[in-house]
């Protein structure tokens, strides 16, 4: 357990540092995803789904901390290497200041959320969650770029740090991870059948149910709390 923790921690630091040094935008989500995937794949293959879920959740926390710190230290480099970082930040700041935009409008964000979740699910099955993890890392990175910029530009940085990661976004991450665990197992089973063998593991329905439940909860919580959160963020921004 300690060895895996050290591997994830060092791996996240090295992958983030390398991404900033090389300066190649798409390299960052690829390197970031490469850190936890071997651990994730091994746990899913061994049917240790609980371990796979919690290790990925821990990696998400470590990855977020690394990207936020790296962005705070080298914001110009971060703007170049984190895809959609600047555009997403601009979108969020416009929403905070005006209340207008996708973030606070159900009819606008719902199709986008469903599309992203659909793409993620397909990638999970066809690639045993490998490319899905790259896709998820990309989204995680630009969210953390925004959080770092929010804290930097706020009149009350301590409040911005607390509010930066929206509660619905946290719920969404959990939903995506649980879905990734379930559909990676499904992908492995399908691959086994293609080889003409009988799958030895059953589909982890519980994790798929958790994933769908949390993704739905994300939508509901966002629809309810976004207007309130916008006013709180506006207060922090000053």
Q: Note the pLDDT tens digit of each residue in 26-47.
A: 999 999 999 999 999 999 999 9
What is the spatial distance between Cα 132 and Cα 120, in angstroms, rounded to a whole number? Answer: 5
Does the pLDDT of residue 1 top 90, yes or no? Answer: no
What is the spatial distance between Cα 222 and Cα 33, in angstroms, rounded to a whole number? Answer: 27
Average pLDDT over every residue of 129-141: 98
Please indicate, yes or no, whether the overall pTM of this predicted structure exceeds 0.85: yes
Supply angle C-alpha 112, 133, 78, rounded to 5: 80
Average pLDDT over every residue of 187-203: 88
Question: By CB neighbour count within 10 A (0-12 exposed, 13-18 middle, 19+ buried), where does 190 fall?
Answer: middle
Percent helix, percent strand, percent coil in the chain, to nearest 5: 85, 0, 15
Q: Note the pLDDT tens digit of each residue in 137-168.
A: 999 999 999 999 999 999 999 999 999 999 99
Cα atoms found within 13 Å of the Cα of residue 149, Cβ hemisphere only: 20
Does the pLDDT of residue 211 top 90, yes or no? Answer: yes
pLDDT of residue 96: 97
Does the pLDDT of residue 112 top 90, yes or no? Answer: yes
Does the pLDDT of residue 181 top 90, yes or no? Answer: yes
Cα–Cα separations (whole angstroms), residue 165 to 33, 56, 178, 220: 20, 18, 19, 17
pLDDT of residue 199: 81
């Amino acid at each position: 357990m300690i060895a895996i923790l050290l591997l994830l921690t060092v791996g996240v630091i090295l992958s983030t540092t390398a991404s900033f040094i090389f300066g190649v935008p798409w390299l960052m989500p690829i390197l970031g995803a490469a850190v936890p995937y071997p651990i994730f794949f091994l746990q899913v293959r061994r049917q240790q789904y609980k371990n796979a879920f919690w290790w990925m959740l821990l990696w998400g926390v470590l990855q977020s901390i690394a990207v936020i710190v790296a962005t705070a230290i080298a914001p110009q480099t971060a703007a170049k290497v984190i895809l959609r970082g600047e555009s997403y930040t601009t979108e969020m700041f416009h929403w905070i200041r005006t209340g207008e935009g996708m973030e606070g409008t159900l009819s606008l964000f719902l199709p986008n959320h469903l599309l992203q979740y659909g793409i993620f699910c397909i990638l999970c099955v066809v690639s045993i969650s490998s490319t899905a993890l790259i896709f998820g890392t990309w989204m995680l990175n630009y969210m953390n770029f925004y959080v770092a910029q929010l804290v930097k530009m706020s009149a009350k940085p301590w409040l911005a740090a607390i509010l930066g990661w929206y509660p619905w976004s946290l719920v969404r991450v959990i939903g995506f991870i649980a879905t990734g665990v379930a559909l990676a197992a499904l992908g492995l089973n399908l691959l086994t059948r293609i080889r003409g063998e009988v799958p030895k593991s059953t589909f982890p329905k519980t994790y798929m149910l958790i994933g769908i439940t949390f993704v739905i909860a994300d939508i509901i919580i966002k629809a309810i709390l976004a207007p309130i959160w916008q006013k709180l963020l506006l207060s922090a921004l000053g």
